[in-house]
Amino acid sequence: MGIKTGMKMYSSQLSPFASRCRMAVYAKDLEVEFLDMPDPDLEEEFSRLAPMHKVPLLVDGDVIVPESETICEYLEDKGLGVSLRPKDAASIARMRALCRIGDLYVMEPMGELFSQINPAGRDAKLVAREMAELQKAMGWLEAYLTGGEHAVGNSLTLADCELVPILFFFDQIGPMFGHVNPLGDYPKAEAYYKGIAKEPAAAKVLAELDSALRRMMAG
Ligand SMILES: N[C@@H](CCC(=O)N[C@@H](CS)C(=O)NCC(=O)O)C(=O)O
């Protein structure tokens, strides 16, 4: 039994942003009701609560929280479960910098590439441009990682929640665009990705992402 919260979260198994928040929820052992979108029965309510129409969206009574980073920080600020925010300013800055690099520089080109997965009608110019952007951003991430099993220090932080879904997609999407071993060029990210998978919250979210991606590819 986890920690009761009464919260619910509109989620989607394949969304890296929702996966980030689910990983924080799992690590904190919180009881949160996940509403898997899209769901026609929930669409009207979701549209009312989510002007941006994006998952994840957290509902905590009257408090509606959009945006994955804001949701993760909100859970921290509520003081529920184990803390995923380091204590010292330098480590917090490092955690936030990794999250920013992930959100601003890695996820942007990755989202563009995700829309080009189907080889039929693929825009080769767009793929080349976004792949170059993605590799540049991965190089930045590599520069800030240590190769250790956690992104910051020796325990789980919000940076791990950010990076696990990102590295999953980087690893999976590469071969779809002809890169056999995409993480091979980023040894610290590769070592980190192997190590962090030993954390139960990371393993759970990776398994969810894997089966959601397989379902999407099969459909
Ligand atoms: N910046 C947002 C991005 C969320 C996002 O893009 N969610 C996508 C799924 S991966 C979504 O809900 N898209 C549906 C839509 O835009 O209608 C966050 O960090 O939460």
**DSSP letters for 51-62:** TT--S-EEEETT
Q: How far is residue 11's CA from residue 58's CA, in Å, rounded to a whole number?
A: 9
- Kindly list the structural domains of the chain, giving each domain's residue range(s) and its CATH number in brackets, ordered by start: 3-77 (3.40.30.10), 89-218 (1.20.1050.10)
Confidence of residue 136 (pLDDT cuts 50, 70, 90): very high
Closest residue by CA, ligand 1 atom 6: 54
Ligand 1 site residues, Cβ closer than 6 angstroms: 12, 15, 17, 53-56, 67-69
- Residue 106 near residue 173 (C-beta atoms within 8 A): no
Q: DSSP alpha helices (H): ranges in the chain?
A: 16-28, 43-49, 68-77, 89-100, 107-114, 124-144, 158-176, 187-196, 200-218
For the CA of 71, the nearest atom of ligand 1: 20
pLDDT given at position 1: 79
- Phi-psi region for residue 11, left (φ > 0), alpha (ψ -120 to 50) or beta? beta
Residues 6+ apart with CB under 8 A from 138: 106, 170, 185, 186, 189
The yes-or-no verdict on residue 183 having pLDDT over 90 is: yes
Preceding amide of 38 cis, omega within 30: yes
Dihedral sign of CA atoms 110, 114, 117, 120 in order: negative
For the CA of 37, the nearest atom of ligand 1: 12
For the CA of 21, the nearest atom of ligand 1: 20
User: Which position has the token pair 């689910």?
Assistant: 22
pLDDT given at position 107: 97
Residue 12 Cα to chain centre, angstroms: 11
The total number of residues written for the chain in this structure: 219
Q: Mind listing the pLDDT tens digit for each residue in 141-179?
A: 999 999 999 999 999 999 999 999 999 999 999 999 999
Tokens of 151: 């992104």
CA 68 to ligand 1 center in whole angstroms: 9
User: Which position has the token pair 């220090």?
Assistant: 153
Q: Mind listing the pLDDT tens digit for each residue in 67-76?
A: 999 999 999 9
CA 12 to ligand 1 center in whole angstroms: 10
